[in-house]
Amino acid sequence: MTTKAKRAILILIFSEFLVCLGIGLVIPVMPFIKNELHLSATDMGIMSALFAFAQFVASPIIGRVSDRIGRKPVLAAGLFLFMVSEALFALTNELYMFNISRLVGGLSAAMVAPTAMAMAADITTRSQRAKVIGWLSAAFSGGLILGPGLGGLLANIDYKAPFWSAAVLGLLSTIALLLLLPKEEELLADDVTVAKSGAPAKGNMRAFMTKSVILLFVMILVSSFGLQGFESIYSIYVNEVFHFTLGNIALVLTLNGLISLFMQVALFDRLVIRFNETRVIRYCFFFSFVGTIWIILAHSKWEVVVATLIVFTAFDLLRPAITTLLTKASSGNQGLINGLNMSLTSVGNVIGPIMSGALLDMNYHYPYLVVTVFLIASFGLTYLIRMNTGSKAVGN
C-alpha cells in the first residue's frame, strides 16, 4: 500500500469517526428537546423516520453518482451537508425545521458512509480490504459509542451545545478531506486498476447482480433487521424478564462496545484470512442464532450477559464480512454496491424495531423467536454463495 493510500485511509477513518461521533453526540439530548419544546412521541418518531427514509432513497442513487464523478466530491458534499444539518437543528426550535434537518442529515449519511466504503475498496487490494473495512467499521462503532457520553457532558453547558459541536466537527472534516485527500486516480490499487480496465460499464447493475450477490444483499437486510429487532427492545426485555437494572444494561452495552472495537480492529482481518468471508458470515449467523436462543432459555443474569455479548459480537462482525465480500463482486460498481448496502440497512433499521415492538406487546419472547427464524434461514443460505474474488471462488 502506497503512502498516499495510507493517508487516504486515515482521512476516511477519521472523517467517518467524526461524523458518527457527531451523530452520537445528539442522542442523549433528544428526550430533553421533546420535553422542552412539548413535542409528542409521534413527532420524534417522524423525525427519526425522515432520517432513515432519506438515507434509504438516496443511498443507491448517490452510489451511482460517486461511481461516475468520483468519491472525493461526494464525500466532501456529504460532510458539508452533515454540518448544515446539525447547525439547522441548533438554530431552530420549530418542528418543520427539525424535520428538514433530519432529511438533510439522512442525505449526508447516504453520501458519507457508503462512499467511504467504496473508496476504501477502490484503493485497497483484495488481500488488504478486510483489514481496512474492519477499521472503518470500528470507526463507525467507536463514534456512536463515544458520542452519547460526550453529548451528555456538553448538554450540561447548553442543550444545543452537542448540535453546535457536531456542526463544527462536520466543518473540520470537510476542510481536512478537501485539503488532504489525494486525487482518486493516484490511489487506485494495482489489482483494482487491472480489474476496472476489463470491467463492465460503471453503474451496470446486471453486470454484477449474480445469485450470490443477491443473496448477500438479502443477508444485509436480514442482519440489519435482526440487529435492530434484537437491540431495539433489549433493555425492555431484560428489565421485564430478568430484572436488569440500568447499571446492568449499561455494563452489557459498554462491554459490547469494547469487544466490538477489539474484534473489528484486531481480529476481523485474521478471521477472514483464516476462514474466508463466506465462512465468517456463516459462523456469525450461527452464533447469533445460538445466542438468541440461549437468551430465551436462560435462567440467570450471567447467562443473559454472555449470550448477549455473543449475539452482539456476531452481528458486529457480520456486516463488515458481508461488505468485504460484496466489494469483491465488481471493481467498477463500488459506489452502487455500497449504496444498495446502506439502503437495505436503512430498511432493516426501520422494519426491525416496528416488528419487535408489535410482537413484544403480544409476548416477551415472540420478537426473538421471529429473529431466530430469519437467522437460521440465512445460515442455510450461506451454503449457496459462490463468488469469484479474484484468484479463486469463495464458497463452502
| pLDDT one-digit tens code per residue, 173-194 | 899 889 888 877 777 766 555 5
Q: Among candidates 329, 314, 324, which has minimal Cα distance to 386?
A: 329
| Range with the poorest average pLDDT among 104-113, 182-191, 235-244, 346-355 | 182-191
* Average pLDDT in the chain: 83
CA atoms of 386 and 383, how far apart (whole Å): 8
Which grid cell is 152? 451528555
| Range with the poorest average pLDDT among 54-58, 144-148, 241-245 | 144-148
**Most trustworthy range by pLDDT among 178-187, 210-219, 370-379:** 370-379
pLDDT of 201 reads 45
Higher pLDDT, 390 or 216: 216
pLDDT of 59 reads 87
The phi, psi pair for 393, rounded to 5°, reads -75, 140
pLDDT of 394 reads 56
Residue 236 pLDDT > 90: no
What pTM, to 2 d.p., does this model score?
0.75
CB atoms within 10 A of CB 57: 15
Contact status, residue 318 vs residue 223, Cβ threshold 8 Å: yes
pLDDT over 90 for what percent of the chain? 21
pLDDT of 261 reads 83
Which grid cell is 258? 469494547
pLDDT over 70 for what percent of the chain? 90
Domains of the chain: 3-197 (1.20.1250.20), 205-394 (1.20.1250.20)
Residue 147 pLDDT > 60: yes
pLDDT of 204 reads 54
Contact status, residue 188 vs residue 71, Cβ threshold 8 Å: no
Residue 391 pLDDT > 80: no
* Rounded mean pLDDT, 73-81: 93
User: C-alpha distances in angstroms, 111 versus 137, 208, 350?
Assistant: 16, 22, 19
Q: Among candidates 51, 26, 174, which has minimal Cα distance to 110?
A: 51
Beta-sheet pairing, 393-394 with 387-388: antiparallel
| Range with the poorest average pLDDT among 13-17, 289-293, 311-315, 331-335 | 331-335
* Rounded mean pLDDT, 279-305: 94
Higher pLDDT, 287 or 133: 287
Full 3-state SS string of the chain: CCHHHHHHHHHHHHHHHHHHHHHHHCHHHHHHHHHHCCCCHHHHHHHHHHHHHHHHHHHHHHHHHHHHHCHHHHHHHHHHHHHHHHHHHHHCCCHHHHHHHHHHHHHHHHHHHHHHHHHHHHCCCHHHHHHHHHHHHHHHHHHHHHHHHHHHHHHCCCCCHHHHHHHHHHHHHHHHHHHHCCCHHHCCCHHHHHHHHCCCCCCCHHHCCCHHHHHHHHHHHHHHHHHHHHHCCHHHHHHHHHCCCHHHHHHHHHHHHHHHHHHHHHHHHHHHHHHCHHHHHHHHHHHHHHHHHHHHHCCCHHHHHHHHHHHHHHHHHHHHHHHHHHHCCCCCCHHHHHHHHHHHHHHHHHHHHHHHHHHHHHCCCHHHHHHHHHHHHHHHHHHHCCEECCCCEECC
CA atoms of 370 and 359, how far apart (whole Å): 9
| pLDDT one-digit tens code per residue, 5-42 | 888 888 888 888 887 777 777 767 777 777 788 887 67
